[in-house]
């Protein structure tokens, strides 16, 4: 019980500076809260989430690096969300210099360039590759390779037609693959 209390107290103490940085000046906190309240009025969950993310980005709490890392880890999952079609615009927040900014939606990721963390074969010479991000990709097309992939080799996954994927390691040819994790 003592450890649980210390862990909770540490988590609360760690979030206090983040909250203070997010609020900044009193006017910033009020503008950000007003923008979040406007986002709450959006009925569609995906658009509401996008709106809140834009408010967090403008306040400096959600960095482009975190968004890119989440996109890298989510690449290739069938249940991943598609980019939101902008029917409702996020509330514009006035910047300190008086200008109004609204961020533009990010382009959909179509290719992932990473490295191989581990590789194994299953069935009749079908490759199963685990990437540095932890995603697992299995070969779905019969293909003979002149070289075998090794951990540390570059690995490229490209989105192909009909929501399929093509993979390539080092200097190999492209082969059909699917994410299996």
In three-state secondary structure terms, 91 is coil
**Residue 89: per-residue pLDDT:** 46
Place of tokens 């979040």: 36
Contact 99, 58 (CB under 8 A): no
pLDDT band, residue 6 (cuts 50/70/90): very low
What residues contact 94, with CB distance under 8 A and at least 6 apart? 31, 100
**Residue 22: per-residue pLDDT:** 45
- Whether the model clears a pTM of 0.85, i.e. scores above it, the answer is no
**Residue 110: per-residue pLDDT:** 85
Position 116 pLDDT exceeds 70? yes
The CA dihedral of 21, 25, 29, 34, to the nearest 10 degrees, is -140
Torsion sign over Cα 43, 48, 51, 52: positive
Position 7 pLDDT exceeds 70? no
Q: Which among 130, 133, 122, 134 has a CA at the least distance from the CA of 167?
A: 130
CA contacts within 13 A on the Cβ side of 41: 9
């Amino acid at each position: 019980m003592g450890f649980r209390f210390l862990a909770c107290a540490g988590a609360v103490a760690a979030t206090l500076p983040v909250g203070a940085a997010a609020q900044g000046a009193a006017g910033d906190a009020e503008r950000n809260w007003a923008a979040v309240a406007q986002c709450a009025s959006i009925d569609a969950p995906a658009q509401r989430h996008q709106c809140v993310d834009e408010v967090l980005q403008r306040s400096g709490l959600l960095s482009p690096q975190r968004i890119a890392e989440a996109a890298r880890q989510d690449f290739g999952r069938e249940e991943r969300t598609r980019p939101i079609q902008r029917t409702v615009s996020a509330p514009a927040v006035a910047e300190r210099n008086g200008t109004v900014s609204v961020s533009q939606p990010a382009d959909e990721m179509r290719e992932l360039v990473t490295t191989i963390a581990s590789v194994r074969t299953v069935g009749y010479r079908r490759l199963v590759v685990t990437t540095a991000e932890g995603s697992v990709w299995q070969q779905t097309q019969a293909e003979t390779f002149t070289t075998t992939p090794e951990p540390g080799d570059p690995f490229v996954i490209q989105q192909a037609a009909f929501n399929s994927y093509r993979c390539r390691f080092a200097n190999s040819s492209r082969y059909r693959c699917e994410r299996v994790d």
